[in-house]
Amino acid sequence: MPTPKPSQPKPSPKPTPAKPNRTRAIPESVVQRSLSLSSRKAARLWMQLESGMADPTDLLPALQQAQGHQEDAVDIHVALRQHIDAEIAAAQARLDALAAVHEADIQRLKRWANSLDQGVLDLHEQGLMADEAVGQTYRIRVKHNPPSCIVLDEAMIPEPYLKAKTTYTPDKSAIKSAIQGGEAVPGADLVRKRKVVYEAAPTSLGRMTDQAQV
């Protein structure tokens, strides 16, 4: 009877090389609908239309598509801005609540500390505690602070002991009126800052009214 051959160990499978972790590209539709790109694209198309470089009939589909993308981008932009405002309000509310809790805790601890000090002063005033009490690690001493003045009635203080406080601040309203009236005010000027307003889109009737007022 033939002797069976010893079984050969099976070769271990080669490890599969790990695929590189590649960041997924942003979909083109998202980039295309961004407010910046959609606005630039619409502006280029309008420039071509106004310059007569292309047939208006050929540009019409592209203009309609660009307008749709820009409208989507505006809505996404405003929705994101409103979401950020809500997050800011929520974070501010949490901060205010946390500050109120800590402020109450600080006041409680201060009252406790003052109560401990007042207890020592009461014992010292009653003659139950000397100017110094010594423990194993710490000691308590009652000392007199340097003299300080307290005002009992400010109306009775003589004039030589009163200090005058004079404060000068620019009158911005008067300066604005003067410059608008043609007067030059050294050290001041008028500026007009810009702000971003987010509001509901006007209806068709509202757009017609706005165009009529221009």
CA-based nearest residue to 190, from 176, 172, 171, 207: 176
183: left (phi over 0), alpha (psi -120 to 50) or beta: beta
Look at residue 153 in the predicted model and tell me its pLDDT: 94
Give me the residue spans of the domains in the chain.
29-156
CB 82 within 8 A of CB 198: yes
Name the DSSP letter for residue 33.
T
Residue-level pLDDT, tens digit, the chain, 214 residues: 455 555 555 555 554 544 444 444 444 445 445 666 677 777 777 777 677 676 667 667 777 777 777 777 777 778 778 888 899 999 999 999 999 999 999 999 999 999 999 999 999 999 999 999 999 999 999 999 998 999 999 999 999 999 988 999 999 999 999 999 999 999 999 999 888 888 888 775 566 566 666 5
pTM over 0.75: no
Look at residue 93 in the predicted model and tell me its pLDDT: 95
CB 34 within 8 A of CB 69: no
For residues 11 and 102, what is the distance between their CA atoms, to the nearest angstrom? 67
Name the DSSP letter for residue 126.
T
